[in-house]
Amino acid sequence: MPTKTVENYLKELYALQQRTDGPLVAMGRLASALGVTPGTATTMVKALSEAGLVDYEPRTGVGLSRPGRRLALRVLRRHRLIELFLVEVLKLDWSEVHDEAEELEHAISDNVLDRIDALLGYPTNDPHGDPIPSAEGKYTRPPRATLADCAVDTPVRVARVADQQPDFLRFVDAQGLTPGVSLSVLRRDAVADSVTVHRDGGGAITVGTSAAQKIQVEKA
């Protein structure tokens, strides 16, 4: 059974690779994301490389090997199913489930996870709209379009909230821009640095461009 530290490294490396153009992530970037020194990260990465979980190139960077990616997706699957369970069943606020899931993801058994999956109806997305990897390791990339760059006057649906800091999630909730909400962008104002949207069944609201860039959408 991989340790909590191993799982955290692989999961964070997977997340960083999704935001990196090349196949490798710089060691400094990985260390910063994990809140450790570059030396600590390098020592751990060398151990992961010896275990066949990462491909490490000194002075260049590190990337997940196929076994490492498979394990990272298992951890990600546990995390996101737990988040959804905490929201849907235990009724915790979606802004507070991340830290709880961070702890539980390392302790829950596959048997319990399968029961949770069945109880929730085999969901494909967590409360924030992030795709949940399948038990077989299949994963769908989240949408790329956002409220800041999608077509104007075109029906879209909120698919994912990319920034999952508690304050931002509470803001999104208060504005009624949670995943599943249908809307359309009415206009963008470069001078005011804002985006005005119209929600189905609701009125028009205006948010800053920086906030709009964190709300990903798909065609309705």
Check if the beta carbon of residue 207 is closer than 8 Å to that of residue 182: no
Backbone angles phi, psi at 158, to 5 degrees: -65, 125
Question: How does the average pLDDT of the chain come out, rounded?
Answer: 95
Q: Which two tokens stand for residue 117?
A: 């999956």
- What is the reported pLDDT for 1? 65
- Section 98-108 average pLDDT: 94
Q: How far apart are CA 28 and CA 16, in angstroms?
A: 12
Q: How far apart are CA 9 and CA 36, in angstroms?
A: 11
Question: Over 80: is that where the pLDDT of 62 sits?
Answer: yes
Q: Which two tokens stand for residue 174?
A: 């208060």
- What is the reported pLDDT for 206? 97
Residue 8 CB contacts under 8 Å (≥ 6 apart), including other chains: 34
Q: Which pTM was predicted?
A: 0.89
Domains annotated on the chain, with CATH: 4-64 (1.10.10.10), 156-219 (2.30.30.90)
Backbone angles phi, psi at 122, to 5 degrees: 55, 60
Q: What are the CA-CA distances from residue 136 to residues 50, 71, 132, 210 (Å)?
A: 25, 11, 11, 36
| Burial class of residue 141 in the structure, from the number of CB atoms within 10 Å of its CB (0-12 exposed, 13-18 middle, 19+ buried) | exposed
Three-state DSSP class for 216? strand
Check if the beta carbon of residue 89 is closer than 8 Å to that of residue 127: no
If you count them, how many residues does the chain have?
220
Question: Over 90: is that where the pLDDT of 140 sits?
Answer: no
Render pLDDT for 74-84 as a digit per residue (tens, 0 to 9): 999 999 999 99
- Section 119-130 average pLDDT: 96
- Section 40-53 average pLDDT: 97
